[in-house]
Structure 1
């Protein structure tokens, strides 16, 4: 099954105010996922035109910022065109293509919307020869975009698996909790701290953002800004030792309290 496609001319795109710059295919590293963050907002071509007005009129950009947009019903809208340098991911526009969900990524996506994302991701992987990473905007900037559900789906591999009946597969949160508690159990003897790297650091950075403590990009690198965000979180909680390192108590407070 492939998603429906709507070209720029079909949704009534405005011509860019200046010519696009084109990506060097050899430099393209990945795909960045965004969302509007608007629940029950406009959909379809109306929403895409609203994005365009905001980007061109309010922000003063030359065109809509995203290369692709996915509607809540799974329809794929052509944005700035594949291969054009986008405007949605500062410092990464020359190395990525940007795909935005028209709806709120904090809410579960329909199977059709999941399929829309899978279609675009697969097409881009094919176009650039495979090997592209797929990340949320929050991995590259201080933001909560693309929302909790969509980010988790992307980090889980963006797998599209619909069981009989057409319902989205459920997440076994018991298994997730067991995994997170097992990871945190090691941190009393070996806490996460500055200069460390890895997926555990990325998880901490993502959760700090949810607690309104800014660690910078969720890049898996425990730097000074991440340490400062950990200390802020520890101070806010009141019962944690404020030292900027993540031991079991801080880990548990981030994920389970």
Structure 2
């Protein structure tokens, strides 16, 4: 079995950040911390553009690690757990570099949040998305600001309340979550490479200023996402959620 990893590779002034976990790219806290730090470290690199991608050919990201979730026994641990995706989203938001999302497969929960936090997201036809948190008694509180910013309150609410429904990549494209959808991963990779290298040839100062414009009015997110992580950290201890998690564990 391939071990979890986060890598950073530079090519033609583009930095490729790739994460992987053998459990459908479900992200435990330590891998999320590595991913956050990789975005922070990328600020000191010479690359002009970043690409966020995941390993494997089926699932982009299945969200937070379920195995870690069921072990939470106190509010402090719960908040720390849900702060994982919050910290990555904030690192992406604060990055001075344009971030392109490359989504080759399904995204669930926190994985939807990662895709939403990119500045320009491309996907394959297999990249359906789902916000499943309410079905286990929590809610997509941490990632909601990023998702709502991308597709609006109405669409975010629809996905959240239909918590067991996968929404197709074409639906996501129609709501401007994805900019474009491709038939194959190979076509996706060509499009990502061409776009990233084209952007990397532009004036870097203009790209930085554009990044600031894209993320204007979000300077309060450090505090906001921390508070949202606290909400989820409490809810994960509720009787409903504990019982639901046990059923999942037994199945």
**TM-score normalised by the chain length of structure 2:** 0.31
- Larger fraction in helix: 2
- Higher-RCO chain (CA-CA 8 Å, sequence separation at least 6): 2
Larger radius of gyration: 1
